[in-house]
Amino acid sequence: MLQITPHHNIIFSISPVDFRKGIDGLCAICRSHLETEPIEGAVFVFTNKRHISLKILVYDGMGFWLCIRRFSKGKLAWWPQNIDQAKNISCKELQIIFYQGNPLFYRLPKDFSPVTKPP
């Protein structure tokens, strides 16, 4: 089973990609355009030109996962427009994007709280 946790590095392809590409084609995009090696364990998120689908590429140490989500109605409400927006997306915000939401409209708690000693 694939789980995306706060420990994952999430990398967005800001430019739309051709969704006819499979694992090898998306790995080539990761290496050439995103300048990241896909087997390092990051979560790569891609969209198509019409913003009606998402593809997620993850290497889990034993092989690649390639997941696609095609929306039955509508399209993405939000997609990062620049590198700065794409670098700051957390796994909770990614879940909001998966459900066609806009993470800029939500106030989310931090992923972790510091552990303190009881008085």
Q: What is the pLDDT of residue 72?
A: 94
Task: Please state whether 13 falls in left (phi above 0), alpha (psi between -120 and 50) or beta.
Answer: beta
Mean local confidence (pLDDT), 56-71: 95
- Provide the number of structural domains found in the chain: 1
Residue 48 domain-assigned? Answer: yes
Residue 111 domain-assigned? Answer: no
pLDDT exceeds 90 at position 108: no
Mean local confidence (pLDDT), 75-98: 91
The pTM (predicted TM-score) of the whole model is: 0.88
> Which long-range contacts (C-beta less than 8 Å, at least 24 apart) are formed by 33-36?
36/11
pLDDT digits 0-9 by tens, 41-50 = 899 999 999 9
Residue 112 domain-assigned? Answer: no
Question: What proportions of the chain, in percent to the nearest 5, are helix, strand and coil?
Answer: 25, 20, 55
Range of the domain at 67: 10-105
